[in-house]
Structure 1
Amino acid sequence: MEYLIQPWPWYISGPLIAIVMFTLIYFGKTFGMSSNLRTFCAIGGAGKKTEFFDFDWKAQRWNLIVVLGAVIGGFIAHFLLSAPVAIDLNPKTVSDLSQLGFKNAGDALLPPELYSWDALLSFKGLAILIVGGFLVGFGTRYAGGCTSGHAITGLSNLQLPSLIAVVGFFLGGLVMIHLLFPLIFS
């Protein structure tokens, strides 16, 4: 099978994202993935227990297509458009990751120390998944949306709360990778 080794250049993917955003704005819609979890909970009947989930989820059916597209797009990207090549990491990054226990840093996009069934089914893997899932869920509700919603839709609409949220997302990522990540994996 022939692989497309290079990702789409910015001058193709950027305008495509802009076209999608202009289309959504034109039709009065917003983009974001975290709102789909609320829709799935409403479909499952959570509105009978909690008022937050009691809304007309059928009005959000179009957004469920976004989830389906993300799943199909991820499948296509992984199995048809990805080349199994090493990642060109900075030697200092490889050294730092090796000290944290990542044996083959840069050999694969997803390191098996984090992304494998063995890692997931370990106590540390399950703890990271549960705590991380809780923090992401809490964070998206507290911030009024997820990274994609704020960074793409909110910034496209020039919303100050989205700018503040995106700055917070980046600061949180820096804290995680520089302070918490070494504690978890050392």
Structure 2
Amino acid sequence: MLEAIKQPWPWYVAGPVIAFVMFALIYFGNSFGLSANFRNICSVFGAGKSCDFFAFDWRKQLWNLVFLAGTVLGGFVASQFLMSDTSVAISEATVADLKALGINNPGNGFVPADLFSFESLLSLKGVVFFVVGGFLVGFGTRYAGGCTSGHAISGLSDLQPASLVAVIGFFIGGLLMTHLLLPHLLTL
């Protein structure tokens, strides 16, 4: 029984569930996106007293905060109790490409330990990946008016042209990063 739980849901179950959630959000006048929770959390802690951007009724977004908490809790439960193996099934060609870029043991975990660890945080590479990369993600999310989940799932479901442009931009940015910038950043 527990082994059946450890398998991913098939597309014909997960897809309709996502569609149902999106239709429910549209029906109730809400939109999905995790980056909005940064604004909600800042508002909860009183940032609206010093900045008008955070001055709004965060209680109307309580459902989104609950969703965020459920995402974190669900990730913890899944990783601690439902996963017997943390290796990631990636193709041999991808493994060879990653090894050629200097990444050790690609596929042995969700993220490469030599890039995403406390030891690497204290290196130039770690500062670039965590600090500079984090700033760029935060800036890009704010500049684009939402995150990838908000635009790709909710915005496209609402048929918003701005979300289509944003999603196309996300893919172009990801391709440029992967093929042009990442090889150079890994040599730092």
- TM-score, normalised by the number of residues in structure 2: 0.91
Q: Which residue is 1:18 aligned to?
A: 19
In structure 2, the partner of 1:102 is 103
Distance 1:135 1:151 in 2: 19
CA deviations 1:42-76 (Å, max 9, x no partner) are 11221122111111112211110011011011112
Supply the distance in 2 between the matched residues of 1:8 and 1:108 (Cα, whole angstroms). 21
For residue 138 of structure 1, give the secondary structure of its aligned residue in structure 2: helix
Who is 1:173 aligned against? Answer: 174
User: How far 1:119 moved relative to its partner?
Assistant: 2.1
The verdict on how the C-alpha distance between 1:73 and 1:163 changes in structure 2, with shifts beyond 3 A counting, is same
Give the whole-Å Cα distance in 1 for the aligned partners of 2:58 and 2:135.
23
Partner amino acid, structure 1, of 2:123 = S
Deviations along 1:140-163, one digit per CA (max 9) or x if unpaired, are 111111111111111111111111
Cα RMSD after superposing both structures: 1.8
Aligned to 2:55: 54
CA contact (8 A) 1:87 1:108 kept: yes
Segments of structure 1 that go 5 or more residues without pairing to the other structure are none
Residues 1:71 and 1:88: Cα distance change in structure 2 (over 3 Å)? closer
Provide the C-alpha distance between the structure 2 equivalents of 1:48 and 1:85, rounded to a whole number of angstroms.
44
Q: TM-score, normalised by structure 1?
A: 0.91
The count of aligned residue pairs is: 186
Classify the secondary structure of the residue corresponding to 1:14.
helix
SS at match of 2:109: coil
Provide the rounded CA distance (Å) in 2 between the counterparts of 1:121 and 1:34: 27
Distance of 2:27 and 2:37 partners within structure 1 = 21
Matches within 5 A, 1:1-186: 4-84=5-85, 86-186=87-187
Aligned equivalents of 2:87 and 2:58: distance in 1?
43
Q: 1:33 to 1:85 in 2, by over 3 A?
A: closer
